[in-house]
Amino acid sequence: MNTGKERILVVDDNTISRIALSETLRVNGFDVDECDCGTGCREYLRRHHPDLILLDVNLPDANGMDLCREFKADERLSAVFIGLISASQITPDDQADGLNLGADAYITRPVPAYELIARVKALLRIQKAEQALRDANEELEHKVAARTADLAAANHALQEEIQERRIAENAQKRLALRLGALHALDQAILQSTSTRQISEASLDCLHELSPAESLQVWRLDSETNRIECLAHRGAPKITIESRPIDEKLRTIFEHLAQAPRLEIPNETHPFVTGSERIWETLHLFPLKAREALLGAIVVARDHVAEDDELAGGGEEIAGTLSIALSQSQLFDEVTIGRSRMRELSRRMLQVQEEERRYLSRELHDEIGQNLTGIKSLLESGIRETGATEKLNKALAIVNELMSQVRRLSIDLRPQMLDDLGLTKALSWQFGRLREQAGLDVDFQHNNPEARLPADFEIALFRIAQEALTNVIRHSGSLKATVRLWIETDRCRLQIHDTGNGFDARSRLGEFRTAGLTGMIERAELLGGELLIESGDGNGTCLTVDLPLT
């Protein structure tokens, strides 16, 4: 039964986790179905089409990422949003892998219920907006095709009848002019980048069909109870482009919502404040999309034209402009949704780094101190009782454990990065790589004392760390050059090696470069970019460019 609620499929083999997640979603108003394995999920999707799938990465009979790629490749299911969930595979590389395979979100456990519901709602909003945008695009394309066909048919008919009926010639010319102007408007809409450009093109088209002393396009914002002038031509001059809706305008909009057009004789301009000029006729054409009033085209005249094309042309132009404005609004909503998702990803990385810092301090301050105390007790026991084989073995184990805890603490979050800054932390990291792997790094920098915002420093440090790890693993070279430029408004980090190189474009296309995509994502989340220059046998050069303003 269709209840009107969004339907969510929860796929998780852990019964407790699945029930808890499903109940949380049901409490918040969603219809929820459950599966505990990949086979059950496939069987469900043969018969149903949910709005969203929350898919556990680790299932007893399938890998969630493989299922995600399979469903996204299925034409019937490609539009279904999929959110991968995992409590174990939560590293940035794991999440990048899942997103590269087509997942629309990657949720790491544990996740608070309010955050889970917020992310689910955000995904469903984006899905609806994208679907509406696709519908609007399809409707606009159909309209362009239909009008183009009308124009071709009209021109063909005109050529056939031009020799036979002189009287019909003028009518055909007017029709060709109207369709030609509308076709030009369609093309202008496809090439325009803003609602104002589209509105200006609409007024140009309308004035070409039926000249008038004053034309404007007004957009209605029902939430703020205001109107905004998107374009104007002729008198009066619009000095204030936005104004609140008064009772007179509210009455006009109520009539426009029920009629294809509205004519008001011998009246001042109702949309322009302070205007005392009396117009012979005001023509208003509503802008509507999905039964919602978006605004109006206003044509003011001091004359009545013969053979007027205003009525039919105005309605056609208003219809086309309505679709374009609706499409632009939907595009803005999708853009805002994606921007919010990008900010959420950035915040997620910040939270992960905070967790790394916390764990590093706990390892160093708590576990490290306890191990130091145990070591002191063992050394004291050996001095007091004489060296014994078992005590010496225990002391050796404690020493090894202390070394492992120290290395783990450093790998999680080097304290030097917080205390001394990026340049010194990188120098220290390069020394570690020289000792551990024999990698010789030539480090060049222009401002060793400069400090960057914390999120910039950790992003650049992680990118350098990942890039040099790739040099050690894949390049076949044990030499690299790292350059760091810190300027007033930008910072750039470049890692270059002369090793084997690779075809970056094909690797990225094969979804085999989680490290590269992770680095690219870190740069993009800070408003920058990562450039990859490489080729088989020609080495690799990675350049990170980040704006500081």
Report the distance separating Cα 291 and Cα 258, nearest Å: 10
**Is the same domain home to 151 and 294?**
yes
Domain count for the chain, please give it.
Answer: 4
491 DSSP assignment: E
Helix or strand holding residue 354 (H, E): helix 310-361
**Is the same domain home to 403 and 295?**
no
Q: Are 61 and 38 in contact (CB under 8 A)?
A: yes
Query: Exposure pattern of 275-306 as b/e (b: 16+ CB <10 Å)?
Result: eeeebebbbbbbbbbeeebbbbbbbbbeeeee
| Cis amide linkage into residue 260, ω under 30° from 0 | no
Q: Residues 6 or more apart from 229 whose CB is under 8 A from it?
A: 216, 217, 218, 219, 238, 241, 242, 271
**Is the same domain home to 189 and 308?**
yes
- CATH number, residue 526: 3.30.565.10
In a domain, 176, yes or no: yes
**Is the same domain home to 168 and 298?**
yes
**Is the same domain home to 357 and 457?**
no
pLDDT of residue 511: 45
Nearest to 340 by CA among 105, 549, 131, 515: 105
In a domain, 126, yes or no: no
Q: Along the chain (549 residues), what's the average pLDDT of each consecutive run of 10 residues? A: 75 88 89 90 89 88 88 84 86 85 85 85 84 83 84 79 67 64 71 78 80 88 86 78 86 88 88 84 88 88 68 80 78 66 59 54 56 63 62 68 59 69 88 89 88 86 88 89 91 91 70 69 86 84 90
**218: helix, coil or strand?**
strand
pLDDT of residue 141: 86
pLDDT of residue 484: 93
**What are the residue ranges of helices labelled H in 210-309?**
247-256
Nearest to 35 by CA among 71, 4, 2, 3: 71
- CATH number, residue 96: 3.40.50.2300
In a domain, 132, yes or no: no
| Domain boundary pick from 333, 367, 390 | 333
- CATH number, residue 223: 3.30.450.40
In a domain, 288, yes or no: yes
pLDDT of residue 344: 53
Domain that holds residue 150: 140-333
pLDDT of residue 308: 61
**Is the same domain home to 19 and 70?**
yes
User: Per-residue DSSP letters for 107-169?
Assistant: EESS--HHHHHHHHHHHHHHHHHHHHHHHHHHHHHHHHHHHHHHHHHHHHHHHHHTTT-HHHH
**Is the same domain home to 388 and 430?**
no
- The Cβ of residue 436 has, within 10 Å, a number of other Cβ atoms equal to 10
In a domain, 226, yes or no: yes
Which phi and psi angles does 500 have, rounded to 5°? -70, -35
Task: List the beta bridge partners of residue 215.
Answer: 233, 299
In a domain, 386, yes or no: yes
Rounded alpha-carbon distances, angstroms, from residue 268 to 217, 265, 282:
17, 9, 9
In a domain, 122, yes or no: no
pLDDT of residue 547: 92
**Is the same domain home to 430 and 484?**
yes
| Domain boundary pick from 276, 310, 333 | 333
In a domain, 254, yes or no: yes
Sign of CA dihedral 70, 76, 82, 87: negative
| Domain boundary pick from 411, 431, 462 | 411
**Is the same domain home to 207 and 61?**
no
Read off the pTM: 0.38
**Is the same domain home to 169 and 228?**
yes
**Is the same domain home to 221 and 102?**
no
Helix, strand, coil percent values for the chain (each to nearest 5): 55, 20, 25
**Is the same domain home to 301 and 360?**
no
